[in-house]
Amino acid sequence: MTPERIEAVRAAMEAIRDEGRAGGDRPALAHRLQRILAVLDERIAAMAQLREAGRTVARELEGVERGLEPEAPATAPAPRQDRLGASTFIDKGWHLISQGDYPGAVEALRRALDLAPSAVEAQALLGWAQMLEERLDEAMATFAAVLQHDPQNALARVNIGFICLRKGVFGEAIEHLSRVIREGRDRRATLYAHFYLGLVYLERGMHDDAIPFLTRAVELGPNLIEARYDLGRALWGAERLEEARAVWRDGMETGVHSPWAARCREAFDRADAGEETPRSPSS
């Protein structure tokens, strides 16, 4: 973006803020702001891709300077794909994501892409691991690349929805996640679309709206202990205290080796002691 365009966007956001302080229509203003933020997210993803392309050129120039052969042009034969070998690292990456080892997952999935550069599943999972490592801009760029190869990729779209949630762009998050649920192309993506949509409503304090989505997430993924933890939080916030305790108890017993089982136990013990339970995501 040019400096002039950046200033224009800044002025637009300041105008929205001023209208809100003056008593303007806050839902309409929020919608305008969400649209601006969505465009910025797209530009950030595009710029990240452009930066990576520049780094590739820089590496090629460094190789030429050292007397090495430059990388083959785009018209050269496609690199050899070891899809069988890559599948081992894809499975390992998914397992590490589910265990919360996101740096390990990134390493495994990059290895998968070394073996099979066109493996869209590996690239989508890599974006997921980057996202869970809080590398949101890198993840957005990775997902944008996935959608270039596969515009219908549900796993990329569901995680773009989660990034929108993390950035507070709730309207865009709901649009992406609802689309994944509506299309139902990928069971794993559908599971996480329900989970993340539940988190959108939980983040906004809409506990009754969050409960059906989190309940469905638990039904689709009984071993997703994190969903049980957050379902318990939603039930607790809706004053359905015994149901919340039962969900946390199930989480403790189902995911004995999961870090989220410990979170469930902590919430259950705090509830037993009459203490306040966490009400914000990831707290």
Q: Which domain holds residue 109?
A: 81-135
Give me 140's structure tokens. Answer: 């957005």
Q: What is the pLDDT of residue 274?
A: 77
CATH of the domain at 129: 1.25.40
Residue 200 tokens read as 């959108």
Nearest to 192 by CA among 156, 166, 237: 156
Would 104 be classed as within a structural domain?
yes
Which of these ranges, 43-57, 196-210, 244-258, has the smallest mean pLDDT?
43-57
pLDDT in tens, 218-262: 999 998 999 999 999 999 999 999 999 999 999 999 877 778 899
Q: Which two tokens stand for residue 163?
A: 């990034």
Final residue of a structural domain among 104, 135, 166: 135
The per-residue pLDDT for 73 is: 46
Complete DSSP assignment for 73-90? PTTSPPPP--HHHHHHHH
Q: How far apart are CA 151 and CA 185, in angstroms?
A: 12
Which class for 58: exposed (0-12), middle (13-18), buried (19 or more C-beta within 10 A)? exposed
The answer to whether residue 231 sits within a structural domain is no
Q: Using the Cα atoms of residue 233, residue 178, residue 96 and residue 52 in order, give the sign of their dihedral.
A: negative
Q: Helix, strand, coil: what percent of the chain each, to 5?
A: 75, 0, 25
Q: Which of 135, 156, 172 is the last residue of a domain?
A: 135
First to last CA, the chain: 36
Place of tokens 């259950």: 268
Would 142 be classed as within a structural domain?
no
- The model's confidence at residue 81, banded by pLDDT at 50, 70 and 90, is low
| 109 occurs within a structural domain | yes
Question: Mean pLDDT over residues 24-49, rounded?
Answer: 66
In a domain, 1, yes or no: yes
Quote the pTM value.
Answer: 0.65
Residue 16 structure tokens: 């929205």
Domain count, the chain: 2
Cβ partners under 8 Å of residue 64, min gap 6: 70
The H-assigned helical ranges of 22-153 are 26-65, 83-99, 102-115, 120-132, 136-149
